[in-house]
Structure 1
Amino acid sequence: MESLPSADKAGAALYRHYLRRKRLAVAVTAAVVVAACLLSLTAGSSDLSLGDLLLALVGRGTRQTSAVVWNVRAPRLFAAVAVGASLALSGCVMQNVLRNPLASASTLGVSQGASFGAAVAIVCFGGGTQINAGGASAALSITNPALVTTCAFLGGIATTAVILLLSRLRGASPPAMVLAGVALSSMFTGGVTLVQYFADDVMVATVVYWTFGSLGRAGWGEIGLIAALCFLAFLFFLRRCWDYNALEGGSHTAKSLGVPVHFLIPASMAICALLASVSVAFVGCISFIGLIAPHIMRRFVGNDYRFLLPCSALCGAALLLLSDVVCRVLVPPVVLPIGALTSFLGAPLFLYLLMKRRGFS
């Protein structure tokens, strides 16, 4: 009888050690994000020292330094954090509810569906206009964020509905669902091509530039919308973290534990589609962040969604921040399209996971 209290104490000590390790992982990931933010603010064609940066942040810098920090680099920083966290959260939850380690908004065609919806809104319904016309510097300004976001969400949610239907079919393996995502991506890419075909030359050029993905085009209003939706989605996901932990054992196990599976899966997928769609609407297609970030953090925190969700969001923010820094310093003063860089980095990992095909059986 005396061994029971000691066993309980040993178990409690192990659990405290477990929690300390997970919390340490969250703290370290947050520290990486802070370091990436400082690097993002100082890196670029205009050299800024850490002292210049601090003076600009407290309002004591020169006019030129303050303009560079607050008008150019700070919006890119906050856009990277909001979009990176949104894509990583959506990928993390998609991989759970679909039981598919290859799932993300980009691999399942959700981003491409949202891209098609946004392109229709911009070209056909006047949701965007060209600014800085005349040359390679031409860019796109979203004049009707509500319309573009709604159309992007409709495109993304249509793809999500197809993916959910496929996931309920018997024998729909993870690679088969990815192949379905490839088919849907091709279909929506063809749709974007048709939209461009009927647009004028200037709008075609700007929409093509928009599809490359760029953090520089998001204004403070768009960044605030992405960040607010990301925060609300994070609260919903975190509130359901124990349900996602139960889903790790399969839907039947989750049902036996009282998880409302028939509500949780479609609701989670709809929120994931909204996060991806809003990000695509304002910054274009940025691939593989939602695939990479959760897999990186699973190596450190496992599949406990109390910690995997915040760590994935932080990791996604850090990855996009660092990718943006590389895009700005690789070929100065040219800023490379961030969507191209993330595709180059993410494609090898995707092929590795596709060949490995372990972890979700």
Structure 2
Amino acid sequence: MRSRRKESKTVPCPEDDQGVMEVGEEELISKYRHITSIKILFIVVCILITVAISGVSMTIGSYDIGFWESYGIVIDHLLNGSDGSMKDFVIFDIRLPRICTGIVAGAGLALCGVVMQSTMKNPLADPYTTGISSGASFGATLAMVAGLTIIGGNYSIVINAFIFALIPMFLIMTISSVRRASSTMIILCGIAVMYIFNAMTTVLMLLANPDDLAAVYSWQVGSLESTSWESLTVMLVFVLSGSVILNSLAHKINVLSAGDESARSLGVNADHLRLLCLLIVSLVAASIVSFTGIIGFVGLVCPHMCRMIMGSDNRYLMPASMATGAALLVACDLIGRTIIAPTILNVGVITAFIGGPLFLYLLIKKKKEVW
């Protein structure tokens, strides 16, 4: 006789399921915290790199100042005020304003780039896609060549560039108010306005004398050379205010990645949010471009670099892009000052030389879609 063995059936116990669920939740929480710590570490590393590059940049120039000595001068000046020495004058009146302008401008342009790309859902969007740079270029060219300025004085060119940089934004917002303000429509309107202002700028340059033409060309390339604490203060106010507002809207901007209809179902008005971000980005970018001229690729490359490392969560992507942009622009300015010294290359030239190949490398290397 053959004995039959009864097959035992295991019935899942609710207590066991609860235990498994708790273990799974703990693993997910642990993994989330680990990823978050890596993102925060990346931001901290970028900030430390910016500080280190700034220290090196303070040592570059005709007046010899050591690396650690430059930091000592900065700390002593902040704690005790100026001691009236030549080294203090060189650091605080010549070199440090340029470095700080590079930090603020790089952070602001990168912030504008990541917000534009996230709200428009377009990897090629940057602060200049909306025609901001072309408007500022026309305003500056109008002041340099034709002498037509909104106000007189030392800041006539800056005011012209700032006002004309905002004109494309107002044109786009006016057109968008008539029709639905989709991301594609905003970008196409910006490109159309950009070509119009570029055409008018070209006409003015054809009529300019050689001296004015050289000044216009130098401004269009972009430079940190003619910066001061006064101009830095203006930029800092716009960049700091814009970064606070945009970072507070990061969770809403994340919702836009799911599509406009999904955003509306979650209580987010995609059209109004997109126009608000466009307004803030235009003000921040215009404040930077008015003083530094046109500096390209920072707002395009830095968000892509950070997105491939950190993902698309704007709560971490925005500060990471700002830290990366600051480090990149200060490094590019340092390279421009040293590569063929004593001749100084404008920082816009260096960003184009570095940003173009770097952008191609990132596109070729990336293994998966991040959009």
User: What are the superposed Cα offsets for residues 255-312 of structure 1, whole Å, 9 maximum, x if unpaired?
Assistant: 2221121211001011111222121111100001000110111122111111100000
2:149 maps to amino acid = F
Inter-CA distance 145–111: structure 2 relative to 1 (3 Å threshold): closer
User: What are the superposed Cα offsets for residues 225-262 of structure 1, whole Å, 9 maximum, x if unpaired?
Assistant: 11111111111111111111111222222222211212
Alpha-carbon contact 2:139-2:160 (below 8 Å) kept: no
Alpha-carbon contact 1:230-1:275 (below 8 Å) kept: yes
Q: For residue 108 of structure 1, report the CA deviation from its aligned partner.
A: 5.0
**Structure 2: gaps of 5 or more residues:** 1-14
**Residue 81 (1) aligns with residue 103 (2):** yes
Which of 94, 110, 113 is the matching residue for 1:72? 94
Query: What's the TM-score once normalised by structure 1's chain length?
Result: 0.84
Inter-CA distance 349–343: structure 2 relative to 1 (3 Å threshold): same
**Residue 262 (1) aligns with residue 271 (2):** yes
Secondary structure (helix, strand or coil) at the match of 1:125 reads: coil
Alpha carbon RMSD of aligned pairs, Å? 3.2
Which of 20, 24, 44 is the matching residue for 2:61? 44
Residue in 2 aligned with 1:135?
none
Aligned equivalents of 1:358, 1:194: Cα separation in 2: 44
Alpha-carbon contact 2:132-2:165 (below 8 Å) kept: no
Name the count of aligned residue pairs: 346
Which of 217, 237, 240 is the matching residue for 1:231? 240
Residue in 2 aligned with 1:29?
46
Residue in 2 aligned with 1:206?
215
Aligned equivalents of 1:211, 1:72: Cα separation in 2: 23
Which of 149, 166, 169 is the matching residue for 1:153? 166
Which of 93, 110, 114 is the matching residue for 2:136? 114
Which of 252, 257, 261 is the matching residue for 1:252? 261
Query: What's the TM-score once normalised by structure 2's chain length?
Result: 0.82
Q: For residue 100 of structure 1, report the CA deviation from its aligned partner.
A: 0.2
Aligned equivalents of 2:338, 2:325: Cα separation in 1: 20
Alpha-carbon contact 2:289-2:295 (below 8 Å) kept: yes
Secondary structure (helix, strand or coil) at the match of 2:341 reads: coil
Q: Which has the larger radius of gyration?
A: 2
Alpha-carbon contact 1:102-1:350 (below 8 Å) kept: no
Aligned equivalents of 2:361, 2:130: Cα separation in 1: 17
User: What are the superposed Cα offsets for residues 294-349 of structure 1, whole Å, 9 maximum, x if unpaired?
Assistant: 01111221111111000001111110000000000011111111112212222335
Aligned equivalents of 2:110, 2:88: Cα separation in 1: 31
Alpha-carbon contact 2:337-2:345 (below 8 Å) kept: yes
Inter-CA distance 113–36: structure 2 relative to 1 (3 Å threshold): same
2:166 maps to amino acid = F
Instruction: Percent identity, please.
Output: 30
Secondary structure (helix, strand or coil) at the match of 1:102 reads: coil
Residue in 1 aligned with 2:339?
330
Q: What pairs with 1:52-63 in structure 2 (closer than 5 Å)?
A: 52-57=69-74, 58-59=76-77, 63=85
Inter-CA distance 232–87: structure 2 relative to 1 (3 Å threshold): same
Residue in 1 aligned with 2:155?
142
Alpha-carbon contact 2:332-2:351 (below 8 Å) kept: yes
Alpha-carbon contact 1:149-1:278 (below 8 Å) kept: yes
Which of 281, 285, 307 is the matching residue for 2:316? 307
Inter-CA distance 210–162: structure 2 relative to 1 (3 Å threshold): farther
1:289 maps to amino acid = V
